[in-house]
Amino acid sequence: MKRIRTALVVLLSISILSVGCGAKQEPSLEPLPEEKKLVVYTSHKAEIYEPFIQEFEDRTGIWVEVYAAGSNEILEKVASEADKPEADVVFGGGADSLHAYTSYFEPYQVRCREQITSEYAPADDSFTLFSEFPIVFVYNKKLVFSAGTPQGWSELLEGKWKGKIAFANPANSGSAYTALCTMLSVCQDQKDRTEVMERFAGNLNGELCKSSAEVMDEVISGSRAVGITTEDEVKKYEDQGMDIGIVYPKDGTAVVPDGTAIVKGAKHMENAKLFLEFTVCEDAQNLIQDYGYRRSIRDDLKTDLTVNTIRYDMDWAQESREEILKDFEDAFSEKEVQP
Amino acid sequence: MITASFRRELLVCFVIAALVPLMISSICLVSLFQNRVERSMEEDAANHLESISTTLEETMTGMDTLLDTLSQKDAIRVGITTDDSWEKNQAYTTLYGSTGNYRDYATFEVYDVNGHCLYTTRTAGNSGDLPVYWGILKEAGVHADNMVVARASRYVHGDVCLQAARGIVDEEDNLIGYLLVGMTGANIETLIAREDQTAGGFAIMDETWNKVYCSSYVGQTDMVEQLRSRVFSGSPLRQKGDTYFTYLQSVDGYPFYVAVGERDIFTGEFSRILIHVLGVLTLGAVLVCMAVSGVMSKYLAKPVYELVSVMQKVRQGQLEERVHSTRHDEFGMLSDTFDGMTEDLKEYMEIQVRQQKEINDVTIAAMQAQLNPHFLYNTLDTMKWVAKAKSVPELANMASDLANILRTSISGDRFIRLAEELQLVKSYMKIQQIRFENSFSYDVEVPMELEYFKIPKLIIQPVVENALIHGLKGREHGHIFVNIYDESEMLYIEVSDDGCGMPQEEMERINRGEVAKEREVGRRRHIGLDSIAKILKLYYGETAGVSVRPGEEGGTLVTLFFPRNKEG
For residue A18, the chain B residues in CB contact (below 8 A) are 24, 27-28, 31
- Between A73-87, A109-123, A140-154, B115-129, the lowest mean confidence (pLDDT) is in B115-129
Q: Is the pLDDT of residue B263 over 80?
A: no
For residue A27, the chain B residues in CB contact (below 8 A) are 237-238, 246-248
pLDDT at A188: 78
Which of A28, A268, A291 to probe the B interface (max B CBs under 10 A)? Answer: A291
**Residue in B457, B455, B431 with CA at minimum distance from that of residue B442:** B431
Domain boundaries, chain B: 73-189, 319-365, 413-563
Local confidence band at B523 (pLDDT 50, 70, 90 cut-offs): very low
Q: Is the pLDDT of residue B516 over 70?
A: no
Axis crossing angle, helix B85-98 with helix B6-72, rounded to the nearest 10: 140
pLDDT at B242: 74
A86 touches chain B (CB under 8 A): no
Higher-pLDDT residue of B168, B529 = B168
How many angstroms separate the CA atoms of A30 and B251, rounded? 17
> In chain B, which residue's Cα lies nearest the Cα of A35?
B232
Contact (Cβ atoms closer than 8 angstroms) between residue B429 and residue B464:
yes
Give the mean pLDDT of B14-22.
84
Domains identified in chain A and CATH numbers: 35-133+257-296 (3.40.190.10), 135-254+313-337 (3.40.190.10)
Q: How many CB atoms lie within 10 A of CB B518?
A: 8
A283 touches chain B (CB under 8 A): yes
Give the mean pLDDT of B50-72.
90
Question: What's the whole-number average pLDDT of chain B?
Answer: 84
Local confidence band at A4 (pLDDT 50, 70, 90 cut-offs): low
The verdict on a CB contact (< 8 Å) between A51 and B31 is no
> In chain A, which residue's Cα lies nearest the Cα of B25?
A15
Q: Is the pLDDT of residue A17 over 70?
A: no
Q: Is the pLDDT of residue A82 over 70?
A: yes
B232 touches chain A (CB under 8 A): yes
Condensed to tens digits (0 to 9), the pLDDT of residues B393-446 reads: 888 888 888 888 888 877 778 888 999 999 999 998 888 888 877 678 889 999
The verdict on a CB contact (< 8 Å) between B231 and A55 is no
Give the mean pLDDT of A188-213.
84
Q: Is the pLDDT of residue A25 over 70?
A: no
Which of B156, B161, B208, B262 to probe the A interface (max A CBs under 10 A)? Answer: B208
Condensed to tens digits (0 to 9), the pLDDT of residues B26-59 reads: 888 888 888 888 888 888 888 888 888 898 999 9
How close is the nearest chain A Cα to the Cα of B28, in Å?
A: 7
What ipTM was assigned to the predicted interfaces of this complex? Answer: 0.78
- Between A160-169, B151-160, B165-174, the lowest mean confidence (pLDDT) is in B151-160
Give the mean pLDDT of A59-74.
91
The DSSP code for B181 is E
Contact (Cβ atoms closer than 8 angstroms) between residue A203 and residue A153:
no
B73-189 has CATH 3.30.450.20 classification = yes
Local confidence band at A267 (pLDDT 50, 70, 90 cut-offs): very high
The verdict on a CB contact (< 8 Å) between B134 and A15 is no
Local confidence band at B322 (pLDDT 50, 70, 90 cut-offs): confident
pLDDT at B117: 87
Local confidence band at A87 (pLDDT 50, 70, 90 cut-offs): very high
pLDDT at B18: 82
The verdict on a CB contact (< 8 Å) between A27 and B247 is yes
Which class is B413-563 in CATH?
Answer: alpha beta
The verdict on a CB contact (< 8 Å) between B32 and A22 is yes
The verdict on a CB contact (< 8 Å) between B208 and A287 is no
For residue B38, the chain A residues in CB contact (below 8 A) are 22, 24
pLDDT at A42: 94
Residue-by-residue DSSP string for B246-278: EEEEEPTTSSEEEEEEEE-SSSHHHHHHHHHHH
For residue A294, the chain B residues in CB contact (below 8 A) are none
The verdict on a CB contact (< 8 Å) between A31 and B155 is no
pLDDT at B515: 64
Q: How many CB atoms lie within 10 A of CB B146?
A: 15
How many angstroms separate the CA atoms of B415 and A101, rounded? 125
The verdict on a CB contact (< 8 Å) between A51 and B135 is yes
Local confidence band at B521 (pLDDT 50, 70, 90 cut-offs): very low
Contact (Cβ atoms closer than 8 angstroms) between residue B19 and residue B282:
yes
pLDDT at B8: 79
Strand ranges (E), B77-174: 107-112, 117-120, 148-151, 160-169
* Entry pTM: 0.65
Q: Which of A11, A50, A65 is opposite residue B232, by nearest beta carbon?
A: A65
Q: Is the pLDDT of residue A337 over 50?
A: no
Local confidence band at A10 (pLDDT 50, 70, 90 cut-offs): low
